[in-house]
Amino acid sequence: MLRIGSIFIALTSWTVSTIAFMSLLPAEGAADCSQWDIGGHWEFHQSNGIIAKFDLQQTNNAISGTGRYAYGNDTAGAFGTRVDGTVTGSVKGNSIQFTTSWGGEYKGGVGSDAFIGGTTSSPGQKTAVGWRGNRAATCQPEPSATTPPSHPEKPVKLLGKRLPGTSRTSTLPEKPVKKLGKRYGVAKANDNVDIYRGPGGQFGAYQCGQLNCFMTKDETAKVLDFQDDWYKVETNKVPNGSGWVAGDHLTVTR
């Protein structure tokens, strides 16, 4: 048995490419954190060449969400075969385990670099496949013994000339809002999808209580911007009235 962080791998029962497999495992050892948060959008790069994409929600130790992957001529699913499903599992300390409705079982952990990785296999499958996440996990802060009283933040006084038509001041003029016209139009959520702070999973999702803020299935929102297959949508569910959503969860009409 080989121990990588909190992952045990039975090498005698799996025949895999050593170089491709080991490069996807988490860094040796485990980062110091009592409870990790792996909620949000993920891309798992697997040693068999497949990229599995997941949108996960985490409540305490429990994991749920959706996942998908494609195989065939085009891993994006344009010409190959796409498989979609649901995810259930748990995160306990540095150990990660969840299963998918298509039969895949993912086991792994968090390495010393905070990146997650491990192995995946299906029932009856003799060969294990290595996988590694595309970003670092987030360490959840430990709850404090007492909760300090909540006080509204005082507005910051900005020095300078008063901006026309506003009640606040600034030393610099505001940048004009980028108008995209009818090019991007309206986005409709194909399923429940998290709302992020920037155009990528590395920016982290907005938090609404203990859960990530998300657009519900069939919800529509005005598109404000577009970058790297991520759409900035107008929504009152997050601060500043807008957030970013992965494009493969949306149907956008002009």
167 pLDDT more than 70 = no
Strands 138-139 and 115-121: unpaired
- How many Cβ atoms are within 10 Å of 115's Cβ, its own excluded? 18
pTM assigned to the model: 0.49
Helix (H) or strand (E) holding 22: helix 18-22
Distance of CA 58 to the CA centre of its chain: 11
Distance of CA 128 to the CA centre of its chain: 24
Specify the higher pLDDT residue, 7 or 141: 141
Residue 45, beta-bridge partner list: 51, 132
CA distances to 3, 59, 87, 194 from 56, in Å? 26, 10, 8, 9
User: Torsion over CA of 246, 247, 248 and 253, rounded to 10 degrees?
Assistant: 140
Specify the higher pLDDT residue, 137 or 11: 137
pLDDT average, residue stretch 131-144? 84
Task: Check if 2-139 and 178-253 are the same fold.
Answer: no
**Domain boundaries, given as residue ranges, for the chain:** 2-139, 178-253
The class that CATH gives domain 178-253 is mainly beta
211-230 per-position pLDDT tens digit:
899 999 999 999 999 998 99
28-37 per-position pLDDT tens digit:
656 678 889 9
CATH topology of domain 2-139: Lipocalin (2.40.128)
In 3D, which of 36, 144, 155, 150 has the Cα closest to residue 96?
A: 36
Distance of CA 115 to the CA centre of its chain: 13
CB 174 within 8 A of CB 73: no
Q: What is the pLDDT of residue 14?
A: 36
